[in-house]
Structure 1
Amino acid sequence: MRRLLVVVPLALIVVALLVGNAPAQELKLTVEEVRQRVLQSNRGVQSAKEEVNKAKSEIVTARAGAFPEIDLSSYYRRDFSIAPVFFEADGEIQQLKFGFKNNFGASISLRQPLWEGGKVFTAYKIAKQYHQYAQVGADRVGAVAVHDGELLLYRAILDEARVAVLKQALKTAEKNLEVVEAHHSQGMVSRFELMRARVERSNLLPRILGAESDVRLSKKRLQSFLDIDLDQPVALVEPDDDTSLESLGALEFFTDTALASRRELKQIDLMVDMTRRAVRVARAGYFPSLAAVSNYSWQSQSDEFTLSKNEATSFTAGVTLSLPIFDGGVTRGAVGKMKAEHRQSLINQQELTDQIRLEVEQAYDQLVQAQKMVQIHRETIAQAEEGLRIADLRYQAGEGTLLEVLSAQTVLTDVRTSLAEATFAFRRSLAALKLASNIDTIGD
């Protein structure tokens, strides 16, 4: 039994250590997975959602101005020494003491605004509009965050592609070195050519190390943006791109869609209306305010510590009217400020419309240009591969030179790198067009 009590805990400890030391499962990140994680975990998106909650609280605050204010208060006072009142009677100074040692009291008061120059109702409408403004802003933050998350993914994929291109070049350089070494052993090439082939191979190694470092950093940036543990292994899944753009609509379609649905335009429309209403709120300072008031109070006084002696109550009700006569120009200044902000919002509205048109047109043109570059580099790769194949055959047959082979190899590496960069530019331009036009997919 004792052995069992010792063996079982030890077995559990060993299992726990094995589980703890097991390598973490690799997390695959697709474009769709990145989008979902951005909306769920990105810190900027979460902060924007809290801004919506703040705006919702402003509605409650503005609405409170239309409800009555009810206050309850109470007190207790102990008079340790009561000051007498002196007076003269029949030629003699007399004194009397008024009051008791213990004083209790309580009151409840009510104030109900009846008219505040329309300020309360207008402020409530502004608060509701600001909640919509914040919600639209949060949606915009989410869209921008998704766009940024996609770019981080595409950047990391580009860095991986650069590593793959360099490793292909290294493989070709090693194969080329084997051929040169064979020729050198047969006395067909000089030692200079052998050293040159070795240097060409060695020069690729530090470039590969640097490119691999770029991949690690790109992944870390993406993981940080998605709020993923930086020690979590991730695998990037490259999207299947349709670079033909056969279903790409006309520029006018994207422009019209952007002008009809861009969140910034919805926000500026709300801002124009809010500033217009804010002028009315400021003007309310010129008007009188009317409120109903009521108060009920109770008090008790006694030399003994009791609430049941010498009690008295009172109840009052009425209305109060406050008419502003002169405030030193405070209201006038507030009205002028709100009018200026309203005019400013109208100017910003027109400027934003023009800016959105330009954003859509720029993103559209960049996408078309990026697609052409992808097509050009794909065609060039086939030619560069054929050029390297011919240079290799010529060199192996003793008709070509090592310089021809190295030049062809460099050209192929450059073209492959250019294709990876052009593909990244295409994806970046496509993401920019989606963001600018507020369209999720091409052709929708």
Structure 2
Amino acid sequence: MKVAKFMERRFLLIIGFCSLIFLVLVMDKNAWGQDAQSNVKYNLDNLISIAEEHNPVLKAAQEQLNQVRAQELQSASQLAPRLDSSLTYMHQYGGGMTDSKYRDTYKAALTLTHTLYSGDGLEASLRAATLNRQALEADVLRTKQTIRNDVQNAYYDLQRARAQLQVAQESYDLALEHLKQAQSLYNQGVVAINEVLRTQVDVSSAELNLIQAKNGTQVALSALEKAVGIPLSHDMVPEVAPKEESLLILPQIDPYSIALQYRPELVSLEDSRKAAEELAKAAAGQARPNIYLQGEVSYYEDEFFPNEDDWNVSIIASWRLYDRGEVKNKIEENKAMARELLARIDDLRNQIRLEVSTAWQNLESALQSVRVAEDQVTIAEEDYRMALRRYVEQVGTNIDVLDARTALTDANTNFVNAIYDAYSAYSDLIYAMGIMDESVFDDLNENEAVNGEVAK
């Protein structure tokens, strides 16, 4: 009996232990997957590809494009024949005014209808739908370029925040090292206690800057996650050391002319303008004669399923003689829309010129800032080294060291900002010109070279 109870308890214990393991595995399933995912490294190209797949704004734009494509197919279906089927039952009470062969009548029919002539109304509607679809495709392309630019800028902002965190960490380490030196000199009776206190205040300030830099990296990572559309971690995005020589590779060509050639908004507005003109033609078609061909074969009898067939073929012509100016006003409405879009195209060209010019000037300014900031860092490092050496030898003061370290921190921060300002400005220039990447520059250079040889 005791053995049986022991075996029963042991069995229950094993069952409970297995259940506990199962629950732990189920509850930690997401954590296991997250750990495996955290080993994946995403560079900038990977992040852009992921954003194009997961960004909800681009998904919404794609679905809107699918709607317009469906509308285009609907317009195309208006030009095709239509085949309808019908099944009718009718019961007649009394004689009435009409004579019917049967009191209970069943009718099964197939009706074919086809438009022979619509006054170019249906054809113009189809052309307008096609142009609207092309305009929206250009809008989707611009949305994709916007997302790409957002991801690039968010990526550069994250790298900027990481670099600023490194600068803050280095400044904090230098402050601690200086505090040790000041404490050592105070213990030796060389300096007063106020220099130690002043250095401790400077250490606290450096620690606060370090905390703010850490928070800045978290905010930058959250911005990158929003742009990409999936959760990330710092380990997923490797830190890339920037190189000044890789910042800018541009052809000797007017960026404004490139923008006029590649900006999708210009294509979108031009297609929308043409679509408005086609809608005006479609409206004008309503005032012209419309001719339809209609054929019907039917089975008509007093029992189901009827077997006596009947058929007819009709040609129907309709012409609207008076509509109190409805068609005329529709035509004028669409023509006015076309003129409005034409004016918007002119305004967009001016806006593009401003955007390209601003992006180009920002890039030139950022590149100049990189060179100046780099020289500033070199000078600040030497100044801090000399100030610290003079202080250790008691030739300089503690304030000189604190000022030199502040200047060094500012110089490093300015250098980081200048570098990533140049990266962001380059991305904005690409975005302003309406191209997807720098590979277009290679094609433009090749075309220029070919045209130069032909000119010679």
How does the TM-score come out when normalised to structure 1? Answer: 0.87
Q: Could you tell me whether the CA contact under 8 Å between 1:224 and 1:230 is conserved in 2?
A: no
Q: Could you tell me whether the CA contact under 8 Å between 2:102 and 2:301 is conserved in 1?
A: no
User: CA shift at 1:41, angstroms?
Assistant: 2.1
Deviations 1:2-41 (CA, angstroms, capped at 9, x unpaired) = 9999699689759948886554424433222222222222
**Cross-structure match for 2:319:** 323
Q: Which has the larger radius of gyration?
A: 1
Query: For the structure 1 residues 261 and 129, does the alpha-carbon distance in structure 2 shift closer, same or farther, using more than 3 Å as the test?
Result: same
User: CA shift at 1:232, angstroms?
Assistant: 8.4
> Given the alignment of the two structures, is residue 31 of structure 1 paired with residue 32 of structure 2, yes or no?
no
User: CA shift at 1:395, angstroms?
Assistant: 0.7
Q: Could you tell me whether the CA contact under 8 Å between 1:133 and 1:270 is conserved in 2?
A: yes
> Given the alignment of the two structures, is residue 406 of structure 1 paired with residue 402 of structure 2, yes or no?
yes
Task: Measure, in 2, the Cα distance between the counterparts of 1:180 and 1:231.
Answer: 39
Query: For the structure 1 residues 343 and 20, does the alpha-carbon distance in structure 2 shift closer, same or farther, using more than 3 Å as the test?
Result: closer
User: CA shift at 1:59, angstroms?
Assistant: 2.0
**Cross-structure match for 2:262:** 261
Q: Could you tell me whether the CA contact under 8 Å between 1:105 and 1:298 is conserved in 2?
A: yes
Q: Could you tell me whether the CA contact under 8 Å between 2:142 and 2:434 is conserved in 1?
A: no
Query: For the structure 1 residues 239 and 295, does the alpha-carbon distance in structure 2 shift closer, same or farther, using more than 3 Å as the test?
Result: farther
Q: Could you tell me whether the CA contact under 8 Å between 2:123 and 2:282 is conserved in 1?
A: no
**Cross-structure match for 1:46:** 59
Equivalent residues in 2 for 1:39-438, closer than 5 Å: 39-77=52-90, 82-83=93-94, 102-229=104-231, 234-238=236-240, 240-243=242-245, 247-250=249-252, 252-301=253-302, 307=305, 312-438=308-434
Q: Could you tell me whether the CA contact under 8 Å between 1:153 and 1:236 is conserved in 2?
A: no
2:286 counterpart SS class: helix
Q: Could you tell me whether the CA contact under 8 Å between 1:244 and 1:371 is conserved in 2?
A: no
User: CA shift at 1:357, angstroms?
Assistant: 2.2
Deviations 1:142-192 (CA, angstroms, capped at 9, x unpaired) = 111101100111111111112111111100000000011001111111111
Q: Could you tell me whether the CA contact under 8 Å between 1:34 and 1:226 is conserved in 2?
A: yes
AA aligned opposite 1:265: L
AA aligned opposite 2:341: S
State the aligned residue count.
426
User: CA shift at 1:401, angstroms?
Assistant: 0.9
Deviations 1:185-237 (CA, angstroms, capped at 9, x unpaired) = 11111111111111110122222222212211221221232122357853343
1:297 counterpart SS class: strand
1:189 counterpart SS class: coil
The structure that is helix-richer by fraction is 2
Q: Could you tell me whether the CA contact under 8 Å between 1:157 and 1:236 is conserved in 2?
A: no
Task: Measure, in 1, the Cα distance between the counterparts of 2:108 and 2:100.
Answer: 21
1:428 counterpart SS class: helix
AA aligned opposite 1:268: L
Task: Measure, in 1, the Cα distance between the counterparts of 2:342 and 2:165.
Answer: 51
Task: Measure, in 2, the Cα distance between the counterparts of 1:399 and 1:210.
Answer: 35
Q: Could you tell me whether the CA contact under 8 Å between 1:71 and 1:109 is conserved in 2?
A: yes
Query: For the structure 1 residues 312 and 232, does the alpha-carbon distance in structure 2 shift closer, same or farther, using more than 3 Å as the test?
Result: farther
1:28 counterpart SS class: coil
Query: For the structure 1 residues 196 and 434, does the alpha-carbon distance in structure 2 shift closer, same or farther, using more than 3 Å as the test?
Result: same
Task: Measure, in 2, the Cα distance between the counterparts of 1:21 and 1:156.
Answer: 25
1:223 counterpart SS class: helix
Query: For the structure 1 residues 145 and 248, does the alpha-carbon distance in structure 2 shift closer, same or farther, using more than 3 Å as the test?
Result: same
Task: Measure, in 1, the Cα distance between the counterparts of 2:386 and 2:96.
Answer: 124
Identity value in percent: 21
Deviations 1:418-442 (CA, angstroms, capped at 9, x unpaired) = 1111112111110011112234228
Query: For the structure 1 residues 361 and 172, does the alpha-carbon distance in structure 2 shift closer, same or farther, using more than 3 Å as the test?
Result: same
User: CA shift at 1:407, angstroms?
Assistant: 0.5
User: CA shift at 1:328, angstroms?
Assistant: 1.7
User: CA shift at 1:384, angstroms?
Assistant: 0.4
**Cross-structure match for 2:448:** none
AA aligned opposite 1:43: P
Query: For the structure 1 residues 128 and 19, does the alpha-carbon distance in structure 2 shift closer, same or farther, using more than 3 Å as the test?
Result: closer
**Cross-structure match for 1:90:** none
Task: Measure, in 2, the Cα distance between the counterparts of 1:427 and 1:4.
Answer: 66
Query: For the structure 1 residues 77 and 16, does the alpha-carbon distance in structure 2 shift closer, same or farther, using more than 3 Å as the test?
Result: same
Structure 2 gaps, min length 5: 1-7, 443-456
AA aligned opposite 1:114: L
